Structure 1
Amino acid sequence: MHKTLDHFAEKFESELVEEINHLGQVRRYKAGKVLIDFGSNVTDIPLVLSGAIKVVREDRQGRELFLYFLGGGDTCAMSLTCCMNQKKSEIKAIVEEDAEVIMIPLHYMDGWMKYTSWRQFVFGSYNERFEEMLNAVDSLAFMKLDERLMNYLLDCKQSAGDFTIRKTHQQIATDLNTSRVVISRLLKKLEQEGQIELHRNMIEIL
């Protein structure tokens, strides 16, 4: 068994883990790599072994909106949906931190539904990603931008497992669909409130 399949060995029957190990292709990606792009044909399901992947949505004006992060032990429910419905991708998945991913060809998905653990994993993934998307919608509709920003920073911390976030103000502004100037002002406000400490291209959550 691939040594990094530990996340899934805890979730799946041993027979399914063996199938994943035998049929899946382990791939390693550097930060910044686009794993799934808007409008692409999704033919493989990604199971994240390690690292972090950011999933974003695009509006009609081509602006990107951050939805959620994927970490070790996760899969992307929206890519599952696109695969099963043979639709082009409606999301972009970008490697946030160097990642190791095992890619499973689509045609194995239906056969694996015989495994109780796989069914629970798929439905659980749908539920988790749906809740995260609802949170993204709620933050847009009901939260002030400074609250959205702090939630975003906490999501980054949880995804990376590190209180230090290595992002530029422009990268954060792009994810939150606003301007760099606004983000810089709000980050300074959060620093004055003692919630973060700013460094060059780096933010530390206190």
Structure 2
Amino acid sequence: MTTLLNEAYSFIFEEELLKEIEEVGVLRIVKEGERIIEIGDYVKAMPLLIEGAIKILREDKDGDELLLYFLERGDTCAMTLSCCLGETKSEIRAVAEMETKIIMIPIEKMEEWTAKYKSWRDFVFQSYHSRLTEMLDTIDTIAFMNMDQRLMRYLQDKAKINQNEVLQITHQNIAYDLHTSRVVVSRLLKKLELEGKIKLQRNSIKVIDL
């Protein structure tokens, strides 16, 4: 855990804090598609992402999901921070985008470290700012972009997160993330292929326009 922790956070946290994280943190390895945090759960620990990627989703009253943003190495989820500090139920679902390694930090350490370490305070505030910016970006995308633009942006983001231009994903899963229908997704993928932005392959999509 030490090597992964240092690779992800040594440029953010001072050495003393890294040692404390190693002492109290619990390494957890989650498989692709596994749910890390569920809507309605009380959050008992805060995840620090050290390898892989996580997607953060909201759910409407009918059970349909909407992708809010992705988390990468060196990130944490501001909504999780809020739940931990306020001891409230989670309003988001966190799902591993790929096999992911996280360090779970006990919630009682959060306030202690906020008072003790400037780097931790800065990290928490920066996390709030980054996630708020990403959520506003998501709102702008929904409000001002056509569905084909939203779809293309989604594919580009996913390719960057996975560091692979070829995405192993079904049309139905894309529809779930974008809160639309599989029929609409399939039609727009064909349109994007005709425009030369992607290439549809058997059970995969190659993103050409990155």
Q: Same fold (TM over 0.5)?
A: yes
Q: CA-to-partner distance for each residue in 1:88-132, whole Å, 9 max, x for gaps?
A: 000000011000110001000011112111111111111111111
Normalised TM-score (structure 1): 0.97
Q: CA-to-partner distance for each residue in 1:162-191, whole Å, 9 max, x for gaps?
A: 212111000000000111111011011111
Unaligned runs of 5+ in 1: none
The answer for the alignment partner of 2:66 in structure 1 is: 65
The answer for the alignment partner of 1:195 in structure 2 is: 197
The answer for the alignment partner of 1:173 in structure 2 is: 175
Q: CA-to-partner distance for each residue in 1:38-60, whole Å, 9 max, x for gaps?
A: 10010100001111111000112
The answer for the alignment partner of 1:76 in structure 2 is: 77
The answer for the alignment partner of 1:95 in structure 2 is: 96
Contact 1:28–1:98 under 8 Å retained in 2: yes
Letter in 1 for 2:123: F
Partners of 1:30 and 1:78 lie apart in 2 by 22
Contact 1:57–1:67 under 8 Å retained in 2: yes
Partners of 2:200 and 2:23 lie apart in 1 by 46
Partners of 1:177 and 1:135 lie apart in 2 by 16
The answer for the alignment partner of 1:3 in structure 2 is: 3
The answer for the alignment partner of 2:128 in structure 1 is: 126
Partners of 2:197 and 2:12 lie apart in 1 by 36
Is 1:106 matched with 2:115?
no
User: How far did residue 160 of structure 1 move?
Assistant: 1.2
The answer for the alignment partner of 2:28 in structure 1 is: 27
Letter in 1 for 2:4: T
Partners of 1:71 and 1:166 lie apart in 2 by 19
The secondary structure found in structure 2 opposite 1:156 is helix
The answer for the alignment partner of 2:42 in structure 1 is: 41
Q: CA-to-partner distance for each residue in 1:49-75, whole Å, 9 max, x for gaps?
A: 111111000112221100011111110
User: How far did residue 35 of structure 1 move?
Assistant: 0.2
Partners of 1:133 and 1:200 lie apart in 2 by 33
The answer for the alignment partner of 1:160 in structure 2 is: 162
User: How far did residue 201 of structure 1 move?
Assistant: 2.1
Contact 1:169–1:201 under 8 Å retained in 2: no
- Provide the identity percentage: 50
The secondary structure found in structure 2 opposite 1:97 is coil
Indicate which of 129, 152, 166 corresponds to 1:150: 152
Output the aligned Cα RMSD: 0.9
The answer for the alignment partner of 1:14 in structure 2 is: 15
Contact 1:65–1:175 under 8 Å retained in 2: yes
The secondary structure found in structure 2 opposite 1:109 is helix
The secondary structure found in structure 1 opposite 2:99 is strand
The answer for the alignment partner of 2:86 in structure 1 is: 85
Partners of 1:83 and 1:116 lie apart in 2 by 19
The answer for the alignment partner of 1:135 in structure 2 is: 137
The secondary structure found in structure 2 opposite 1:197 is strand
Letter in 2 for 1:27: R
The secondary structure found in structure 2 opposite 1:90 is coil
User: How far did residue 135 of structure 1 move?
Assistant: 1.0
